[in-house]
Amino acid sequence: MITIIRNAKVYQPEYAGIKDVMLIGSQIGALGENLKADLGGAVEVKEIDGAGLILIPGIIDSHEHILGGGGEGGFHTRTPEATLTGLTLNGVTTVVGCIGTDGVARNMEALLAKAHALEEEGVTTYVYTGSYRVPVHTITGDVMRDIMLLDKVIGVGEVAISDHRSSQPTFEEFARIAADIRVGGMLSGKAGIVNVHMGDGPRMMDFIWRTVRETEIPFSQFLPTHVGRNAALFESALEFAKAGGTIDFTGSLDDDDEVPVSKGILRLLDAGVSSDHFTISSDGQGSLPIFNEKGEFQGLGVGNASCLLKELRECVNKAGLPLELALKPLTSNPARILKLARKGRILPGCDGDICLLREEDLSLHTVIAKGQIMVAEGTAVVRG
């Protein structure tokens, strides 16, 4: 199957002009003008009119609870699993699954099976091994063996610190996890990332700072997430990013964040942080509990991948960021940080993961994952 998208405004995520993009099978075959493919009818050639549309790389959601989450309000508040259309109708073509608070009823075997199921349905999937808990519960017995022996495992997480729901690991336990996953990543050619759940406790990012200051483990081994949870945590994360680390914003479905994503990104840029050093993920399907000052459960929300395109629009329309910059934390940045070599870019040889957005409002028009059309004119044509 060959698909040619004609006359779209192409963002790689850098703006490349009005171009044609040719997909050959599951990969991008060519980028140029007036592209043609004539194989005498031996291979079907489909053309899509991209006039009035913006072509971008498929979105990478680097933190989603694809198994659902264990609700902190009891068994009846367990949140549902991700679905294929819950991803594709929000532009997500690559997702990294993780386990949060509940590492018992939601386990690594089930997470890996869910990742394989979504992959078979049409999107690309990876996982973090473990959950909030330390010692880390793995499949093979330790984090190094998981990352080396299981293709989909690219790191460990989401390890919780500075949170009343964490297992309150010691600094030595935390540093050992980072050391083991780093070496396992090196030996397997993977990122070896420690995805760190940041709670709103007063210790904030102390363990991460101590690890990079007191050991030889570099900033690049950590991806702290939920950094906009409160103003003090954001300031610590800003200093971490200024020092060379990468931080992850959690998208929101409303505007009551302490540090909204678009405003946080503006703060980073104003402070001189490189646009390469932050990402945005959804925390999709995760339980979003509300606690009072005594730590008592008050209510629960559920994360959703729809926040990603919302944050993209707000970065452009509210914060005034250029589209190519607003795209980076959803595409090329997570691809580079997580060492997903064929993801996050519109270049020949990359996977055929593409979103077409309407130019007037950046709403979703078409989604293609690994060369297969999943969403056409805003409607899912492939369902799980």
Q: Are 5 and 20 in contact (CB under 8 A)?
A: yes
> How many Å is the maximal CA-CA distance in the chain?
71
What's the token pair of residue 224?
Answer: 């702290």
Instruction: Kindly tell me the sign of the dihedral angle through the C-alpha atoms of 315, 343, 44, 378.
Output: negative
Cα–Cα dist 222/230, whole Å? 20
Distances (CA, A) of 278 to 285, 333, 371: 22, 7, 28
Distance in Å from the first CA to the final CA of the chain = 21
Distances (CA, A) of 222 to 69, 155, 187: 23, 10, 18
Closest CA to 203 of 174, 163, 231: 163
Q: Write the CB contacts of 207 (distance below 8 Å, at least 6 apart in sequence).
A: 161, 169, 171, 174, 175
Spell 62-95 as b/e; 16+ CB within 10 A means b: bbbbbbbbbbbeeeebbbebbbbbbbbbbbbbbb
Q: Are 60 and 331 in contact (CB under 8 A)?
A: yes
Known catalytic residue at 206: no
What amino acid occupies position 344?
Answer: G
Of 146, 257, 283, 351, which is the active-site residue? 283
Cα–Cα dist 224/234, whole Å? 11
By annotation, the residues acting in catalysis are 283
